[in-house]
A and B are shown apart, each in its own frame.
Chain A
Amino acid sequence: MGELITFFSDNQEKVMEQVLEHIGLTFISLLLAAVIAIPAGIFITRRPRLSGGVLAFTGILQTIPSIALLGFLIPILGIGLKPAIFALFLYALLPILRNTYTGISEVDAAVKEAALGIGLSKGQLLRQVELPLALPVIFAGLRTATVINVGVATLAAYIGAGGLGEFIFGGIALNNATMILAGALPAALLAIIFDQLLALLQNANARKLSKAGKPLLLIIPLLSSAYFWPQAYAPGWSAGFPPEFMGRPDGYQKVVDTYGVDFTTTILNNALMYKAVYEGEVDVISGYATDGRVEAYRLRQLEDDRHAFPPYYCAPIMQKKLTEENKKLTDVLNLLSGRINDSVMTVLNYRVDFDKISPGQVAQDFLKAEGLWQPDQKEGGETLIIGSKIFTEQYILVELFSQLINGYTDYDVDTRPGLGGTKICFDALRNGEIDLYPEYTGTGLQVLLDPPQDTLERIITQPDAVYRYVSREFEAQYGLQWLAPLGFNNTYALMMREAQAESLNIKSISDLIRQQ
């Protein structure tokens, strides 16, 4: 609790900004949905033959998993505000539409007949009888939609639309419970507050409700505009960074400290940021040097001329105990040692990302080319669990490891790829939930060990020294063993579009600052 309060006071501005963005996202989409769904709901009560189809269609929209829906929308609407609003809008449609339809259809037929019979026009029937009587039900729909939207809006952070999801995803990636809470708690509070406020309105009778309706017409657009308040000031380069990079000590903060550079950051998920920079949604991203998309999207890696980032040589790590119990296992994994250099890894990544070949196939092709592939040993041995982080390269490495182990030992391999972040893999390994996973020396150094400043400055430019340091410290502190490095250095690198970098003559991060 104390940590949470400290976190809030340290990140006051950021929290405020995210809360405002969150409210804005929720209410812009709610407003749009209400503007479409209420008249549409009324319309289908007049065209009962349409109602089944329309309700079923919005019902189907509702069942699309939110992450998948955001994924579908990116090719059409790009990243940021537009797809987020559109997705939230779609989710808000059904409750409002259905409740408007139900509310109006459920008005007593006798009341409607009497109203028409004594001489109300159709418009008067709607305004004076049907809408007032349906209002509590319509409000219940708005209320459901609001609560859904507050929840789903946390996912907006995945596609760079901000909101409280930034803390939540950052926290998950770094396994930082305080940070998760810092996003989840205000989101839950917002949901409860809006739910209760709307509950008050819903339970008020129709007369009071019609009075409350007018101020609401003002308040909802006002709340909607909240999204744009924090954006009124926005300095520096526009940059898209994944949540983990934002939170790591060797990530965003390190770049800012080393270069004094100023960014307007958008939180983007790993998988989206390459496309985002390619399409000009942002100008700078923090890519991985060996990612297949660097080439494909014609991105330029900026030289880290002041060494903000340590070297990131990749090697499997596992429990020390296990290497001692089974020497064969270590030998098998070390078969890969030094065989995969930067360009080989980039090609492997490219084949998965762009040629759409499965990681398993890519791994098998590589092993065959290297003459390392052997068919599966018999089943029924002990089970070995291999984990990985959630990006392409790690999926391929998991396959390489598992095919080797299956081929050379009688272990049965089980894989757990796509774990949410470094801390999650690391904790899973220490707790014995996985037996090994591929890690990077720089990450081990700065995220997991956090050495004293002078040590860091002494070794940061020397890959071998970093490897020796992490091997020694991991063994001493955690009882974990680093096996031999595979050969490539998948460093963090700031990247820009080649064309833009060329025209501004930017080659290094220092150049970037000069152009600010």
Chain B
Amino acid sequence: MIKTQGLTRRFGDFTAVREVSFELQEGETLALIGPSGCGKTTTLKMLNRLITPTAGKVWVNGQDISQQPVVQLRRQMGYVIQDMGLFPHYTVAENIAVVPRLLGWETGKIKTRTGALLEQLGLDTGAFAQKYPHELSGGQQQRVGIARALAANPPIVLMDEPFGALDPLTRQQIRRDFMELEELRSKTTIMVTHDIEEAFEMGSLICLLNRGEVQQLAPPEALLQSPANDFVADFVAEKAAQLELRSAKLRDIFSELPEVPPLQGTALTLSPTLPLLRAIYRLAKARAEHPLGATTYQGQQRYFTLPILIEAFKNNLQSWAN
């Protein structure tokens, strides 16, 4: 889907990014993380050519992006930034419609799409479509920012600290709503964050950078289990416990779950790859009406209740800690 090879950027004598290479498949999310000035934002901006690489190449669907017209390239990549950058003289609806309009969509189609996106991101179309950005809260503005990035249904989404400017509570809510977006499943997302928990929660791959160089490029759990060097170990050490939780998958404790016969009531089916905490959250949210969870693993269907799940998780946490 998207691939980089030896991506390097120098500013004068200073090398901001050195030899960054990765490859992402459709539906994967790469979290670029590292301390300030590690080159994560520079790396991201080389993907849509806001910054020109000094060396190295980027391919999207096998095509070298330096050979493509830059404007067309960017219109196929959603772009979300920390400061939102909504156009202050455009209404919410006009902001979301910018790229579809540039692509020459019909008015009716634009309107339908805008309405659908607003609803999906939890903003009431009637109340928000005609408002101007300054009339919105920070969280609402960022939802509009995300809607604008997704409006033309780009296969790739680039996000530069998308939730960084928000307070922790709002940040968590938007992150959840964002991750629950159905259409995101098929998109390839590359995000920059300085929040390691966020990276672990959202990323299917983590790219940890320091001084412009990749320290480790691996799935979240690998950073904990087999850090590539001391820097990686130190970087994750402080929050190891939380990160363990975030990276834990339901399937890790699958064997602990009892095999029970189908019970009465509605079952909630969860993907075994989802992080455990999210699963617990969802179950807790649904506890009142949906006392059941169900999952499929290696062809077996297993049912569980919330207390059983939490018990299984505790047992595992102890074994991981040893």
Contacts and interface: CB of A to CB of B under 8 A. Distances in A.
B87 A118 contact: no
A207 B89 contact: yes
- Of B89, B99, B149, most A-chain CB atoms within 10 Å: B89
Interface string A130-141: 001100000000
Contacts of A124: 102
A128 B87 CA distance: 9
Interface string A58-95: 00000000000000000000000000000000000000
Interface string B60-96: 0000000000011111011101111111110000000
Nearest to B158: A117
A223 interface: no
A117 B89 contact: no
B250 to A, nearest CB: 36
A117 to B, nearest CB: 3
B50 interface: yes
- Of A111, A117, A133, A207, most B-chain CB atoms within 10 Å: A117
Given A110-B83, A110-B84, A113-B50, A118 B89 contact: no
Contacts of A206: 89
Given A110-B81, A124-B102, A119 B86 contact: no
Contacts of B158: 117
B149 A119 contact: no
B75 A119 contact: yes
A382 interface: no
A115 B81 CA distance: 11
B247 interface: no
B85 A119 contact: no
A114 interface: yes
A117 B88 contact: no
B87 A129 contact: yes
B4 interface: no
Contacts of B74: 116-119
Interface string A87-123: 0000000000000000000001011111111111100
Contacts of A12: none
A205 interface: yes
Given A119-B99, A119-B102, A120-B102, A113 B85 contact: yes
Given A132-B89, A205-B89, A114 B84 contact: yes
Interface residues of B, number: 26
A207 B88 CA distance: 11
Contacts of B166: none
Identify whether the interface residues of B are mostly helix, strand, loop, or mixed: mixed
- Of A115, A116, A118, A206, most B-chain CB atoms within 10 Å: A118
Contacts of B81: 110, 113-114, 117
A356 B77 CA distance: 75
A113 B50 CA distance: 8
Contacts of B280: none
Contacts of B148: 118
Given A121-B71, A124-B102, A111 B79 contact: no
B98 interface: yes
Nearest to B149: A118
B48 A117 contact: yes
Contacts of B75: 118-119
Contacts of B71: 119-121
Interface in B12-26: none
A114 to B, nearest CB: 3
A458 B294 CA distance: 128
Nearest to A209: B89
A114 B158 CA distance: 11
B87 A116 contact: no
B76 to A, nearest CB: 8
Contacts of B88: 108, 111, 133
A385 to B, nearest CB: 64
A124 B71 CA distance: 11
A111 B102 contact: no
A511 to B, nearest CB: 69
Nearest to A111: B85
A117 B50 contact: yes
B99 A111 contact: no
A128 to B, nearest CB: 8
A203 to B, nearest CB: 14
A108 B85 contact: yes
Nearest to A122: B71
Given A108-B85, A117-B81, 5 more contacts: A111-B85, A113-B50, A115-B87, A119-B71, A129-B87
The 10 closest A-B pairs by CB, nearest first: A114-B85, A117-B79, A110-B83, A119-B75, A119-B74, A110-B85, A206-B89, A111-B85, A121-B71, A118-B79
24 contacts: A108-B83, A108-B85, A111-B85, A111-B87, A113-B50, A114-B85, A116-B50, A117-B48, A117-B50, A117-B79, A117-B85, A118-B74, A118-B79, A118-B99, A118-B149, A119-B72, A119-B73, A119-B75, A119-B77, A119-B102, A124-B102, A128-B87, A129-B87, A132-B89
Interface of B: 48, 50, 71-75, 77-79, 81-89, 98-99, 102, 145, 148-149, 158
